[in-house]
Copies of this chain bind each other. A is one copy, B any other.
Amino acid sequence: MRIAVLGTGMVGRAHAARLLELGHNVTIGTRDVTGTLLQKEKDSMGNLAFSKWHNGNNLINLATFAEAAKSAEIIFNALKGDVAVSVLKSIETEINEKILVDISNPLDFSNGMPPTLFISNTDSLGEEIQKALPKVKVVKAFNTLNALLQVNPKQLAEGDHTLFISGNDETAKLTIKEIAQSYGWSKIVDLGDITTARGTEMYLPLWLRLWGKLQVSNFNIKVVIDEKIN
């Protein structure tokens, strides 16, 4: 499929590389193509400069947010949470009625670490995106774990841990479930409509404290249910 991944950070790169490996036609969308390619230093998160990463992944196209979204059948939102709604709204026409996989989290780093959430409890970023772009088929997914684990779940406990998805459109969720299965996911829990994104986004504060405790990000949670009734 033709897939656009919006965002040049760790999460965007992980999905872009994995989707390419799985045979998809992948375009990364960025605000400023020239500027992104001119970056020579590691970014604020300590990731390799994009151009250096791209040299080793040159079958992945790079385009503006609008161009990437326009040419794609499915769009992955791997933007930082605080810019997600404004960027997506600016390319609403290009996204139109497509499936938008929302991986972003409403993390607020302004009060130090661990971050708090700038939307929570009675709302979620997934819902805000769905409200801002009502025609888009938003599927919240992959936002509860480390980027590399999102796209290669079998590297941990042979994949015996859980991925959550939320969204209003059943067909869109099935499509994303298939992509997740192609990544290696076997335990996928469809929580329900997009309001259930509150559950996975509000799990982040626990994830962050587990990260602080374990000192590694290669972990996840598994939903353990009574086998007798399931």
> B199–A205 contact, CB under 8 A?
yes
Give how many A residues have a beta carbon under 8 Å from the other chain's beta carbons. 45
A226 interface neighbour in B198, B207, B212, B216, Cβ under 8 Å: B216
Does any Cβ of B come within 8 Å of A225's Cβ?
yes
Looking at chain A's contact residues, is the secondary structure mostly helix, strand, loop, or mixed? Answer: mixed
- Please report the C-alpha to C-alpha distance between residue A219 and residue B224 in the assembled complex, in whole angstroms: 6
> B192–A200 contact, CB under 8 A?
no
> B219–A221 contact, CB under 8 A?
no
What residue of chain B has the Cβ atom nearest to residue A224's Cβ?
B161
Question: Could you say which residues of chain B place their CB within 8 Å of the CB of A204?
Answer: 202
- Please report the C-alpha to C-alpha distance between residue A230 and residue B192 in the assembled complex, in whole angstroms: 34
> B120–A111 contact, CB under 8 A?
no
Q: Which of A173-230 contact B (CB under 8 A)?
A: 189-192, 196, 198-200, 202-210, 212-214, 216, 218-227, 229-230
Question: Could you say which residues of chain B place their CB within 8 Å of the CB of A216?
Answer: 225-226, 229
Question: Could you say which residues of chain B place their CB within 8 Å of the CB of A111?
Answer: 122
- Please report the C-alpha to C-alpha distance between residue A225 and residue B143 in the assembled complex, in whole angstroms: 18
Does any Cβ of B come within 8 Å of A121's Cβ?
yes
Question: Could you say which residues of chain B place their CB within 8 Å of the CB of A169?
Answer: none
A selection of 5 A-B contacts at a CB cut-off of 8 Å is A121-B205, A156-B225, A191-B210, A199-B206, A214-B230
